[in-house]
């Protein structure tokens, strides 16, 4: 096992928390007792072995022992300090009675969510928070159960955690609710949840289940070129008949390095690290060969390996996001012993700043929007289309998924001594926070479009990130053009296919006006996502700026107000109602990341353990 730098197990746990969005500290809650009426726990054996031994399955395309790649050896590098050096005065001001009350509010939301999951959807993938039934969207092994383990531990819910561990110990990966699963989703929700909870608690049952699952997922690499088959059919996996798709998303290829690397660290078995290291080398080789050097297209051609494809769309959003996010975090997990992750991260961030980031055109201080104040210093991440080398056309389409980019830029900026990236990270994080407050519910939509500041023809690419004056005529033209594309929607556009959504119903009320400079809402939903609060939390820990705590609290208050049901919290159809008093339409969905990430990170942002803020790099 590659050694991890002192201080011992606490730092090992920290590294896994960094990996899984819980960056730079612990949240210490008082021990909590169960509420009255809690359903009595079933009795499970501590550990029940999965009924099919994936580790003993003969590989049809074996990796020769001589080709196994060992983890980097040697003492970890002395890495730069990540966290702001909080003074005692700063800590006293930031962690006061108000923050403790906020912490308790987050804890109550988590308790409410878990209690209903336990009562109505126990061991199912997710709770339907209105109909109060269980749903299986991820093979039926209990995605919320596994994904929420670290949240239960961190929030001090020890009885609930112990009960959940007993249930996890009985999971049989050979018994699924479907004939196949997504390799990507199974890795990040299940394997990631098991590893982070094991590193926090030291419960050996969790490591045993992680190894079982890791061996099952490893079979997804039993293909002729050892590239992963994301569409993982259990029957074909057992017989070695899986094949990698000829066209795979970047996220699938780049989002297993953390979990598989950690599994090799914990077990001493290099096979897991070998397959993700091979993927990394393929991505490294092609990084400068794409139309936009430094970035990979949204999809990669796998016919002859990880070569650049003819795809022309580049993004930090869906189907690409975590491939970029994992670069700096895997570097950190390996103790800085693989410099290629640093090189790849810096290349990617510089290229993203050049081609994907933009500053929105904002109303001037004379506009009522800001009541005489200057426009905020914010950036967003969009898409880029490139049909020829090093030339791109910006699509100013903002995805909630892309809001993680602020934290990614800032974390890498601290790790790799790029203060310009830290600044960009803060501008991106504040951009998503600004978008939240721009809408009547206080929540930003899943996908929207704005008017960007344009790059000046005689200036370098950074001119698109500079302030530009408000142009009302230009804004009206852009908005009119967007409206012309979708006349039938309550908004300028709505790609939501749900026939029961507000946008599909007769519009009996006044159509809500889009806040400037938004021209289009392509998807008005909010799915309980964590990306915006994740970036705010990381920026607070890096910069120490106290106003970020207040911004985060307004975000939490808006989310819970708009999504709360009688028993839990639900994704909503529409964040932009005609007025703030209009009730939101619930989607009856509460995915595992609500407990595992969103509430977890909100809780981390209100933690009270002052010393922990200064204990880690």
13, pLDDT greater than 90: no
Element (H, E) at 394: strand 391-395
How far is the CA of 353 from the CAs of 199, 214, 295, in angstroms? 35, 35, 11
Question: Residue 27: which of 139, 127, 121, 103 has the closest Cα?
Answer: 103
- Do 341 and 331 form a contact (C-beta atoms < 8 A)? yes
Q: What are phi and psi of 426, to 5 degrees?
A: -65, -40
- If you search the block for the tokens 């839990």, which residue do you land on? 568
What pLDDT score was predicted for residue 525? Answer: 98
What is d(CA 119, CA 130) in angstroms, rounded to the nearest whole number? 13
Reported confidence tier of residue 593, pLDDT bands at 50, 70, 90: very high
Q: What is the pTM of this model?
A: 0.89
What is d(CA 484, CA 599) in angstroms, rounded to the nearest whole number? 39
Per-residue H/E/C for 122-158: CCCCEEECCCCEEECCCCCCCHHHHHCHHHHHHCCCH
Taking the chain, what is the end-to-end CA distance rounded to the nearest angstrom? 22
Give me 239's structure tokens. 């017989």
What is d(CA 425, CA 586) in angstroms, rounded to the nearest whole number? 32
Cis peptide before 517 (omega within 30 of 0): yes
**SS3 state at 488:** coil
What is d(CA 569, CA 414) in angstroms, rounded to the nearest whole number? 35
- Do 367 and 417 form a contact (C-beta atoms < 8 A)? no
41 class by beta-carbon count within 10 Å (0-12 exposed, 13-18 middle, 19+ buried): middle
Task: Please tell me the chain's helix, strand, coil percentages from 3-state DSSP, rounded to the nearest 5.
Answer: 45, 10, 45
Per-residue H/E/C for 514-567: CCCCEEEEEECCECCCCHHHHHHHHHHHHHCCCHHHHHHHHHHHHHHHHHECCC
What's the pLDDT tens digit per position in 143-156? 999 999 999 999 99
pLDDT, averaged across the chain: 86
How far is the CA of 76 from the CAs of 4, 79, 616, in angstroms? 7, 8, 15
What's the pLDDT tens digit per position in 455-489? 765 555 566 789 899 999 999 999 988 887 765 44
Paired residues of 301 in beta bridges: 247, 307
What's the pLDDT tens digit per position in 53-62? 999 999 999 9
Q: What is the mean pLDDT of residues 298-308?
A: 71
CATH architecture of 8-36+52-497+516-614: Alpha/alpha barrel (1.50)
What is d(CA 359, CA 321) in angstroms, rounded to the nearest whole number? 20
How far is the CA of 41 from the CAs of 44, 163, 167, 233, in angstroms? 9, 7, 9, 33
Q: What is the mean pLDDT of residues 432-453?
A: 97
What is d(CA 435, CA 430) in angstroms, rounded to the nearest whole number? 9
What's the pLDDT tens digit per position in 206-251? 999 999 999 999 999 999 989 999 999 999 999 999 999 888 999 9
Reported confidence tier of residue 520, pLDDT bands at 50, 70, 90: very high
What pLDDT score was predicted for residue 37? Answer: 33
Q: What is the mean pLDDT of residues 311-330?
A: 97
What pLDDT score was predicted for residue 335? Answer: 97
| pLDDT top residue among 21 and 526 | 526
Give me 136's structure tokens. 């299986």
Max CA distance (Å), the chain: 71
> Which one-letter DSSP state was computed for residue 76?
P
- Name the residue ranges covered by the structural domains of the chain: 8-36+52-497+516-614
Question: Residue 362: which of 267, 242, 451 has the closest Cα?
Answer: 451
Question: Residue 148: which of 125, 178, 119 has the closest Cα?
Answer: 125
The percentage of the chain sitting over the pLDDT mark of 90, rounded to a whole number, equals 74
Catalytic residues: 185, 321, 446, 531
Q: Show the CA angle centred on residue 49, arms to residues 44 and 53, nearest 5°.
A: 160
């Amino acid at each position: 096992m590659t050694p991890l730098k002192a201080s011992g197990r606490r730092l090992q746990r920290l590294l896994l928390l960094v990996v899984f969005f819980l960056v730079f500290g612990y949240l210490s809650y008082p021990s909590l007792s169960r509420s009255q009426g809690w359903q009595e726990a079933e009795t499970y054996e501590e550990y029940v072995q999965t009924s099919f031994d994936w580790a003993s399955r003969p590989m049809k395309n074996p990796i020769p022992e001589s080709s196994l790649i060992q983890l980097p050896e040697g003492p970890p590098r002395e890495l730069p300090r990540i966290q702001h050096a909080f003074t005692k005065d700063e800590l006293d001001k930031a962690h006061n009675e108000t923050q403790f009350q906020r912490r308790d509010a987050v804890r109550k939301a988590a308790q409410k969510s878990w209690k209903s999951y336990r009562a109505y959807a126990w061991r199912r993938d997710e709770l339907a928070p209105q109909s109060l039934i269980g749903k299986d969207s991820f093979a039926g092994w209990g995605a919320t159960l596994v994904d929420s383990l670290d949240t239960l531990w961190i929030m001090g819910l020890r009885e609930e955690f112990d009960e959940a561990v007993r249930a996890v110990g009985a999971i049989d990966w050979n018994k699924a609710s479907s004939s196949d699963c997504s390799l990507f989703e199974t890795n990040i929700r299940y394997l990631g949840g098991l590893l982070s909870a094991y590193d926090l608690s030291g419960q050996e049952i969790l490591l045993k289940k992680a190894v079982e699952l890791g061996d099952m997922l490893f079979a997804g690499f039993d293909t002729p070129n050892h590239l992963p088959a994301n569409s993982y059919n259990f029957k074909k996996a057992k017989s070695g008949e899986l094949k990698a798709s000829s066209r795979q998303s970047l996220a699938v290829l780049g989002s297993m390095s953390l979990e598989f690397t950690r599994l090799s660290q914990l077990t001493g078995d290099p096979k897991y690290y070998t397959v993700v290291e091979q993927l990394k080398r393929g991505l490294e080789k092609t990084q400068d060969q794409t139309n936009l050097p430094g970035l990979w297209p949204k999809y990669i051609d796998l016919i002859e390996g990880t070569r650049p494809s003819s795809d022309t769309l580049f993004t930090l959003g869906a189907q690409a996001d975590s491939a970029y996010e994992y670069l700096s975090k895997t570097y950190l997990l390996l103790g800085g012993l693989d410099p290629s992750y640093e090189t790849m991260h810096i290349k990617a961030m510089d290229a993203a700043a050049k081609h994907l980031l933009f500053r929105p055109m904002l109303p001037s201080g004379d506009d009522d929007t800001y009541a005489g104040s200057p426009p905020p210093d914010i950036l967003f991440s969009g898409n880029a289309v490139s049909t020829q080398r090093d030339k791109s056309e910006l699509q100013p389409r903002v995805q909630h998924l892309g809001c993680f980019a602020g934290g990614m830029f800032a974390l890498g900026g601290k790790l790799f001594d790029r203060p310009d990236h830290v600044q960009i990270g803060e501008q991106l994080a504040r951009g998503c926070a600004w978008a939240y407050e721009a809408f009547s519910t206080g929540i930003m939509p899943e996908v929207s479009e704005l008017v960007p500041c344009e790059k000046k023809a005689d200036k370098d690419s950074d001119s698109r990130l500079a302030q530009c004056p408000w142009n009302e005529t230009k804004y009206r033209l852009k908005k009119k053009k967007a409206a012309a594309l979708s006349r039938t929607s309550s908004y300028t556009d709505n790609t939501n296919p749900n026939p029961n959504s507000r946008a599909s119903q007769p519009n009996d009320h006044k159509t809500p006006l889009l806040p400037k400079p938004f021209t289009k809402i392509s998807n008005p939903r909010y799915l309980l996502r964590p990306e915006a609060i994740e970036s705010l939390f990381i920026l607070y820990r890096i910069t120490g700026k106290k106003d970020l705590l207040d911004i985060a609290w307004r975000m939490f208050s808006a989310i819970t107000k708009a999504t709360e049901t009688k028993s839990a919290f639900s994704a909503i159809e529409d964040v932009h109602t005609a007025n703030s008093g209009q009730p939101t339409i619930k989607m009856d969905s509460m995915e595992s990341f609500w407990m595992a990430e969103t509430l977890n990170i909100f809780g981390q942002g209100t933690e009270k353990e002052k010393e922990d803020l200064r204990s880690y790099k």
